[in-house]
Each structure stands twice: as C-alpha cells, then as structure tokens.
Structure 1
C-alpha cells in the first residue's frame, strides 16, 4: 500500500552516454542533479541510472544516487523501475528505491522501501515524488 509522501524534487539531466550492450538492446546512461525535500528537509541530489530498451518499447532502468541535506545529512539510494516513453519525447518511470543513511535524521530510511514516480521531459528537465511503501 502506498504510504505518506516522503520526498519530492526537480532537476536537470546533466549527461548522457550510450553504453555497450553486446548482443542486447540499446542501453543509455543518464546522470541528473536536482533539489527538493526528503523527509521534510531541503536537499540536493545526484543520481545516475542506466535504461535498456525492451522489445515491447518500455525501458528497464536501474541506478544509484546520493542525497545531501542542508544540515549535513547524507543518504545513498539504489533502485529499479520501468520507463514508459511518451509521444512528446518524455519518459515516465515508476519503481522502487532503497536507502542507506547513517545520518540520525534520515536513519529511518534504511528500514523502508520507497516507491517513486520520476519523469524526464524531452528537454531533460526532471521531477519526481517518493512515497513510503507500507
């Protein structure tokens, strides 16, 4: 069941590159940076994910990232999701991420699974929301 919203943010794709995938489908690596809130605290985030095109036209993505709070909080995450390309050139991802944090303020994140909605438009602008999975 979808629980409370624990994060949201927006940002920009800062780099992309095509990854080797011998014998496989096309695969792209994307890095983004953004700002928002995590557990009610202002934060900055950098994340990198790779997305592989599947035969049905969807994308399977997996990645990792780092979130830093304005008071010195730090959390890392890993996650996976499915991307749905849209006719306007945007992509909508839905998936799950898992955090690790030694920061007292964010330590609760290590004991939960979080579900995300992440979108990137054709110009590389990103936005996302994060919910606790209960």
Structure 2
C-alpha cells in the first residue's frame, strides 16, 4: 500500500542546464519546474529543481528540492529522490520518495509524513501524484 493519495500536480519545465560530470561520472542534468495542484486538499503552487544523472543501467537517479505555497500563504519545503526510466524521446517516468519540513498552516501536517511520488516529465510538461502516510 502506498498510503493515502494526498496530491496531484500539473505544470511545466521552466529550465534545464547540463552540469559537468566529475571524476569520470556522467554529466548531471538540472531541471527546474513550476507546477500547480492540490496537496492535502488545498490548492497551491510548487517550485522545484532536481538533478538527474545517468546510471550504468540506462536509468536516471535524481535528487530534488522544492517549496509548496498555498494561495493563503501557507508553505512547506520538501526533499526527494527517485529513479527515472525513459519512456520515449524526451520523456521520463519518475518514482521516488519525499520528506517534508517546515510546514505551516494547512500544510503543517506534512511535517509528520513520509511520501512517495510518481511523476511523468516530457520536454516541457510535468504531471504526477503523491501518496503519504504517518
């Protein structure tokens, strides 16, 4: 069981850049996104940046961080990590985990949760779902 479905998002990629590989590692691609949706039943907007590096098996390993803000000014920051699989040219399907901290107002309950996500990213669109449990 993945926990309770607590959020769904849709948005777009706002930027990408390639960072040099160090010590013989593959280069890292940094991607920034802006999404909107619902989290704990509250409408909000999320800004995030994640870095992805190609693994030897052809999949991606990524880490990211972001901030979610509601229309009334409540906020929470998050950190995540996951594995991405190419599903077509410029398309990656991500699965991973999330932890939240510093949540205020309607998003404060997230301080006690751990979560998992599934996101689909193409050249300029992002969509996904988040599940969580205490």
Normalised TM-score (structure 2): 0.94
> CA contact under 8 A between 2:75 and 2:105: conserved in structure 1?
no
> CA contact under 8 A between 1:26 and 1:52: conserved in structure 2?
yes
CA RMSD of aligned residues (A): 1.2
> CA contact under 8 A between 1:52 and 1:59: conserved in structure 2?
yes
Q: Report how many residues are paired.
A: 133
Where does structure 1 lack aligned partners over 5 or more consecutive residues?
A: none
Superposed, 1:1-134 pairs within 5 Å as 1-22=1-22, 23-121=24-122, 123-133=123-133
The separation in 1 between residues aligned to 2:103 and 2:50, in whole angstroms, is 23
Displacement of 1:88: 4.1
The separation in 2 between residues aligned to 1:125 and 1:54, in whole angstroms, is 23
Greater Cα shift, 43-52 or 101-110: 101-110
Displacement of 1:89: 3.0
Q: Secondary structure of the equivalent of 1:31? A: strand
1:52-105 CA-to-partner distances (Å, cap 9, x unmatched) read: 001110000001001000111111000100000113431000000101134132
> CA contact under 8 A between 2:51 and 2:63: conserved in structure 1?
yes
Normalised TM-score (structure 1): 0.94
